[in-house]
Amino acid sequence: MELVRATEAAAIRAVPWIGRGNKNAADGAAVDAMRKFLATVEFQGEVVIGEGEKDEAPMLFNGEIVGNGRGPLCDIAVDPIDGTSLTAAGRQNALSVIAVADRGTMYNPKEVFYMDKIVAGPAGKGIIDLDRPIADNIKDLANALGKDVEDMNIAILDRPRHEKLIADVRASGAGTELMLDGDVAGGINAALENGRIDMCVGIGGTPEGIITACAIKGLDGVMQGRLYPRNDEERQNAIDAGHDLNAVLTQDDLVRTDNTFFVCTGVTDGGLVRGVNRERNQITTDSVVLRARSGTFRRVTAVHRSDKWLNDED
């Protein structure tokens, strides 16, 4: 629950920048707030996935130590705003996210920034396979879910690189939900039982994949990924670092422990959580907390006094 305070703070501080067209300002406000609250958490956290490499941020960079210096040794993955462009444009599905696992268990994604991924809920275990055609995956998952293929809904990032994938999904008879950004939310929605999305597929960020893996463990879902180098230099760097570019990585490869936590708070409204709502003297936040070891899914709605935030207190 201490972690929720950090994602809540990041989401609240991003609110003034929603729809203002300045994603860097939104991200900067969220980073500042998240870092401040992480400093109070009783753990010794090392940022494995942070802001530095991706956004050239001076705080919450890879390798930074956070927490109050007491408690367990942990790996930390942070994304103060997953969906900075969504926030800047005032669109849905922007989240503030933190994932935590035992020290030394998170996959290090620094050599290859992108990964080809497929995610589904518990029914997808032993069914989905990154090496099989997407139409076969959809058909077999539909059978496992007791659904018609025509009722299947597949989430995919709306990118030119996915033009053929989108066409193949539609040719199978299934529908698509095209995401402008933020495939963490897409992956989690795909793993939720009885959700609107049945599967999330396509090439997205490797850091986001590792964050998603922490959540998938809490939801008892299934995830597979393969590193996707963008160019020859990145490919060679990955090979030199010892990565097998043909290997299919599961959620257990991406996070090698069941002692994981995933926390997110909505910045803007979305299918997973509601965005921050400000009315008169109160601010309402909507968050999700997942713990893999206990299999617990918590939804946390919090009401904050506006004057406390204006005075920079909590």
Decide which of 3.30.360.10, 3.40.190.90, 3.40.50.150, 3.40.50.300 is the CATH code for 114-254.
3.40.190.90
Cβ atoms of 134 and 165 within 8 Å: the answer is yes
Instruction: Please check if 160 is assigned to a binding site.
Output: yes
Confidence of residue 313 (pLDDT cuts 50, 70, 90): very low
CB 304 within 8 A of CB 276: no
Instruction: For residue 69, give every residue at least 6 positions away whose Cβ sits within 8 Å of its Cβ, in sequence order, or none.
Output: 44
Strands (DSSP E) found in 113-243 = 114-120, 153-157, 175-179, 199-205, 222-227
Q: Is 293 marked as a binding-site residue?
A: no
Question: Residues 45-71, buried b or exposed e (16+ Cβ, 10 A)?
Answer: bbbbbbbbebbebebbbbebebbeeee
Q: Which of 29, 20, 94, 90 is nearest to 55 (CA)?
A: 29
What local confidence, expressed as pLDDT, does residue 311 receive? Answer: 54
pLDDT at 231 over 80: yes
Q: Is 51 annotated as a binding residue?
A: yes
Query: Is position 208 annotated in a ligand binding site?
Result: yes
Q: Which residues pair with 192 in a beta bridge?
A: none
Fold of the domain built from segment(s) 2-106+260-308: Fructose-1,6-Bisphosphatase; Chain A, domain 1 (3.30.540)
pLDDT > 60? residue 94: yes
Q: Is 182 helix (H, G, I), strand (E, B) or coil?
A: coil
Instruction: Say if residues 223 and 187 touch (Cβ distance below 8 Å).
Output: yes
Cα–Cα distance for residue pair 110/165, rounded to 1 Å: 26
132 among annotated binding-site residues: no
Is 84 assigned a ligand-binding role in the annotation? yes
Average pLDDT, the chain: 92
Q: Which of 218, 206, 215 is nearest to 62 (CA)?
A: 206
183 assigned binding-site residue: yes
8 Å CB contact between 166 and 213: no
Q: What is the pLDDT of residues 52-62, one digit of tens each?
A: 554 455 578 88
| Least confident segment among 71-75, 180-184, 284-288 | 180-184
User: Are the C-beta atoms of residues 79 and 184 closer than 8 Å to each other?
Assistant: yes
Torsion of CA 226, 232, 237, 238, to 10 degrees: 10
Q: Where are the domains of the chain?
A: 2-106+260-308, 114-254
| Residues 6 or more apart whose Cβ sits within 8 Å of residue 281 | 305, 306, 307
> In which residue are the tokens 């030119």 written?
160
Flag whether 159 is marked binding. yes
DSSP bridge partners of 117: 202, 225
Mean pLDDT of 234-255: 94
